[in-house]
C-alpha cells in the first residue's frame, strides 16, 4: 500500500514561518519496496528544524561557546505547545484503519489515486432495500479492482439494488463471470447479478433476488395458451385459404362448408403452416444449442387476405446470458422461416409456369411486393397481362410466409428484428430505431392496411421492452456469422413489404424521349 500526501495544506504552516520537519510515514502492512507516503506537517514540540539544520546549529553553538542543552531549553521556553492539526489527526486515523485491515489496504494500493480519494460509496448511507452489511460484504468480496470498482449504490425498482462504477476488465464477459462466481460463493443462490448499461451508457451492476422473474407461466397455462392460439390460427388459416369458417361459426345453418372445400384448402393452409413451423423450429434449435429455454410459441391468428397468421410470439424462460446468445436465437427463426418460404415460392412459380396452377389471384396484386413482382414477371411473363392468373398454392403459401418473416424482422418491440437490433447495436440504439420503425409503419398504414394491423399488434403484444440479458456490455464477436446473416435479413422487409412502383414506371415510359439537339 502506498498512501499519498493529503491534498489539503497543513493549517499550521499557514500560521507560522518556522521551519518544518518531513516525517516519512508507512503502515506496517505496506511492503518495504512500495513508495512511502510523505506527509508534510508541523514540527513536533521542541523540534522545529530538520536534521541538516540541527547539525549546522550544533556546530555554531560549539564555535560560539553556547552549550547545546541550554539552547534547546531556550527554544522550549519560547515555543508553546499547540494541539495537532486536523490534517495530522486524519492521517493518524487513516493509518490506524489501514493497519487494522491489511487486505483492504493492499487492495486499495492497487487502485489509482482517483479510486482511493473517496473510498466511501455514494448512497451507502441511504435507505436501501438491501442491508448495509450485505452492501459492504458485496463491495469487499464480490466487486474489486479486477472486475468492477463501485462508486455509488442506489435502489432498483421494488427489491433490487444498482451498483454504479467502472468495469476494470477489458472483456466485460470475463468481469461478469468473476462477479457471478464470487456472488455464488459469498451469497449462495439468494441473489442474481446483471451487468448492464444505464441511460447514459455507463456500466451498471444490478442485484436482484433469485426469485425475480417477469411473466413466469405455469406449465398448465403455457400449454392451454399455446393450444388456444394455435386453434384460432388454424381457423384463420383455413379462412384465408378460401373456406368461410368465420361465417360458418357464426351462422352454420346458412353457410355451407363441404368436405371437398376443406380438402382443396389444405395444400395452401398446410404449406403456410410449414413456414410457421420452420420459423419456430429455428428458434428452438438455436436455443437448445445455446443452453436457454423457450416457452411454447403463441401463433397469432390473422385471417384476412391470403395471410392466415401473423406468426408466433416466442418468449424466453428466464434471462438470456448475453447479447451474442440473443443474436443467435433471434436470427435462427427468420432464417429458417425465410428459407422455407423462399423454397415454396420458387417451387410454386415453377409449377405455375408449367400450367399446374390451382389458385386464381389478381394479376395486379403481385405488385404489392417488390420481390414477388420481379420473380412473377420473370416466371409468368405474358400471363400477367390478364386480370387474373392461375398459380400454385405453394406460390401463395411461400409469399405469405415471406410476409410473416419480413414483419417479424422489423426492428421494434420484442419482434425478432427488435432483438437482433439490441444484440447488434445495444439497448439505447435499439429503442431509438424501434420508435422510428413504429412511426414509419403508422405513416405507411395510410396506404397499406397490413401495416395498420401490424402497428396494432406491436403496440398490443410486442411493444417490449426486451428482458435484459445477464451481461449486456459485450457485443457479439465479429467472427460470429450471424452478424452478417442479420444484416442480410434486414433487407427482407424492404424487398417483400414495399410495393413494386408500377405507377412510377408507367409514368416514366410515357415521358417523351429527350432530343439530343
- pLDDT tens, position by position, 79-120: 544 444 444 344 445 444 444 444 433 333 344 333 333 344
Per the model's pLDDT, the better-predicted residue between 60 and 508 turns out to be 508
Cα separation, 486 vs 416, whole angstroms: 10
Are 204 and 164 in contact by the 8 Å Cβ rule? The answer is: yes
What pLDDT, on the 0 to 100 scale, is given for residue 461? 64
E strand segments, 212-330: 293-294, 298-304, 307-313, 316-317
Are 402 and 345 in contact by the 8 Å Cβ rule? The answer is: yes
* Sign for the pseudo-dihedral over CA of 486, 487, 488, 489: positive
What pLDDT, on the 0 to 100 scale, is given for residue 2? 44
Set of cell numbers at residue 458: 406491436
Which string of b and e fits 353-391 if b means at least 16 CB within 10 Å? beeebebebebebbbbbbbbbebbeebbeebbeeeebeb
End-to-end CA distance of the chain: 88
Cα separation, 66 vs 63, whole angstroms: 8
Helices 323-353, 393-408: inter-axial angle, 10-degree rounding: 160
Give the count of beta carbons closer than 10 Å to the beta carbon of residue 404.
26
pLDDT single digits (tens) 233-270 = 998 998 888 888 888 888 878 788 888 888 888 999 99
pLDDT single digits (tens) 164-184 = 888 888 888 999 999 999 998
Q: Within the chain, what is the greatest distance between any pair of CA atoms?
A: 136
Q: What is the mean pLDDT of the chain?
A: 76
DSSP state of 414: T
Give the count of beta carbons closer than 10 Å to the beta carbon of residue 221.
11
- Helical (H) or strand (E) element with 490: none
Peptide bond into 323 cis (omega under 30): no
pLDDT single digits (tens) 194-238 = 999 887 778 899 888 887 766 677 889 989 999 999 999 998 998
pLDDT single digits (tens) 322-339 = 999 999 999 999 999 999
Q: Is the pLDDT of residue 420 over 60?
A: yes
Set of cell numbers at residue 333: 427463426
Phi, then psi, of 219 in degrees rounded to 5: -55, -35
Helices 416-425, 323-353: inter-axial angle, 10-degree rounding: 140
Set of cell numbers at residue 59: 556546530
E strand segments, 15-172: 22-25, 37-40, 148-156, 160-167
* Sign for the pseudo-dihedral over CA of 139, 145, 147, 152: positive
115, 91, 134, 199: which is closest to 426 by C-alpha? 199
Q: Hey, is 347 helix, strand or coil?
A: helix
Q: Which residues contact 497 (CB under 8 A, 6 or more apart)?
A: 369, 403, 406, 407, 450, 451
Class of 132-209 per CATH?
A: alpha beta
- By residue count, the chain amounts to 517
Q: Is the pLDDT of residue 47 over 60?
A: no
What pLDDT, on the 0 to 100 scale, is given for residue 261? 84
pLDDT single digits (tens) 268-308 = 999 999 999 999 999 999 999 999 999 999 998 886 677 88
What pLDDT, on the 0 to 100 scale, is given for residue 509? 59
CA distances to 137, 225, 233, 295, 309 from 229, rounded to whole Å, are: 48, 6, 6, 14, 10
Q: How far is CA 490 from the centre of its chain?
A: 19
Set of cell numbers at residue 310: 401473423
What percentage of the chain's residues is helix, strand, coil (to nearest 5)?
55, 15, 35
191, 159, 419, 467: which is closest to 318 by C-alpha? 467
- Each domain of the chain, given as residue ranges in start order, spans 132-209, 276-287+314-505
Cα separation, 84 vs 88, whole angstroms: 6
**Kind of pairing between the strands at 316-317 and 293-294:** antiparallel
Q: How far is CA 370 from the centre of its chain?
A: 33
Amino acid at each position: 500500500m502506498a498512501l499519498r500526501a493529503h491534498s489539503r495544506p497543513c493549517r499550521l504552516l499557514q500560521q507560522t514561518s518556522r521551519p518544518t520537519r518531513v516525517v516519512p510515514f508507512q503502515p506496517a502492512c505496506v511492503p518495504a519496496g512500495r513508495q512511502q507516503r510523505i506527509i508534510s506537517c508541523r514540527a513536533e514540540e521542541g523540534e522545529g528544524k530538520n536534521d541538516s539544520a540541527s547539525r549546522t546549529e550544533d556546530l555554531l553553538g560549539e564555535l560560539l561557546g553556547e552549550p547545546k542543552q541550554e539552547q534547546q531549553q531556550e527554544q522550549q521556553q519560547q515555543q508553546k505547545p499547540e494541539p495537532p492539526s486536523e490534517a495530522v489527526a486524519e492521517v493518524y486515523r487513516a493509518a490506524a484503519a489501514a493497519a487494522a485491515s491489511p487486505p483492504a489496504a493492499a487492495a486499495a494500493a492497487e487502485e489509482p489515486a482517483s479510486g482511493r480519494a473517496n473510498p466511501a460509496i455514494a448512497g451507502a448511507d441511504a435507505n436501501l432495500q438491501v442491508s448495509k452489511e450485505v452492501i459492504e460484504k458485496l463491495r469487499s468480496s464480490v466487486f474489486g479492482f479486477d472486475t468492477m470498482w463501485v462508486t455509488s449504490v442506489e435502489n432498483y425498482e421494488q427489491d433490487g439494488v444498482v451498483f454504479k462504477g467502472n468495469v476494470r476488465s477489458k472483456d466485460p464477459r470475463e468481469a461478469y463471470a468473476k462477479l457471478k462466481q464470487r456472488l455464488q460463493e459469498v451469497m449462495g443462490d439468494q441473489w442474481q447479478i446483471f451487468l448492464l448499461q444505464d441511460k447514459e451508457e455507463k456500466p451498471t451492476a444490478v442485484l436482484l433476488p433469485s426469485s425475480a422473474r417477469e411473466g413466469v407461466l405455469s406449465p398448465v397455462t403455457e400449454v392451454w395458451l399455446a393450444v388456444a392460439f394455435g386453434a384460432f390460427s388454424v381457423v384463420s388459416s383455413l379462412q384465408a385459404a378460401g373456406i368461410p369458417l368465420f361465417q360458418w361459426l357464426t351462422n352454420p345453418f346458412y353457410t355451407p362448408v363441404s368436405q371437398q372445400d376443406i380438402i382443396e384448402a389444405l395444400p395452401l393452409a398446410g404449406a403456410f403452416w410449414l413456414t410457421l413451423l420452420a420459423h419456430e423450429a429455428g428458434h428452438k434449435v438455436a436455443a437448445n444449442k445455446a443452453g436457454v429455454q423457450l416457452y411454447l410459441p403463441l401463433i397469432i391468428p390473422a385471417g384476412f387476405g391470403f395471410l392466415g397468421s401473423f406468426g408466433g410470439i416466442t418468449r424466453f424462460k428466464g434471462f438470456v446470458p448475453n447479447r451474442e446468445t440473443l443474436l443467435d436465437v433471434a436470427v435462427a427463426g427468420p432464417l429458417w422461416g425465410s428459407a422455407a418460404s423462399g423454397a415454396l415460392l420458387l417451387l410454386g412459380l415453377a409449377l405455375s409456369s408449367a400450367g399446374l396452377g390451382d389458385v386464381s389471384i389478381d394479376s395486379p396484386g403481385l405488385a404489392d411486393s417488390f420481390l414477388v413482382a420481379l420473380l412473377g414477371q420473370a416466371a409468368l411473363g405474358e400471363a400477367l397481362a390478364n386480370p387474373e392468373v392461375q398459380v400454385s398454392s405453394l406460390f401463395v403459401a411461400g409469399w405469405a410466409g415471406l410476409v410473416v418473416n419480413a414483419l417479424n424482422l422489423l426492428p421494434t418491440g420484442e419482434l425478432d428484428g427488435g432483438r437482433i437490433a439490441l444484440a447488434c447495436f445495444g439497448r439505447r440504439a435499439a429503442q431509438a430505431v424501434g420508435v422510428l420503425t413504429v412511426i414509419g409503419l403508422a405513416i405507411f398504414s395510410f396506404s397499406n392496411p397490413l401495416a395498420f394491423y401490424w402497428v396494432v399488434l406491436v403496440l398490443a403484444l410486442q411493444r417490449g421492452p426486451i428482458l435484459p440479458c445477464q451481461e449486456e456490455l459485450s457485443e457479439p464477436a465479429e467472427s460470429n456469422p450471424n452478424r452478417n446473416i442479420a444484416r442480410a435479413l434486414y433487407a427482407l422487409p424492404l424487398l417483400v413489404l414495399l410495393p413494386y412502383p408500377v405507377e412510377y414506371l408507367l409514368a416514366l415510359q410515357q415521358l417523351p424521349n429527350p432530343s439530343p439537339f
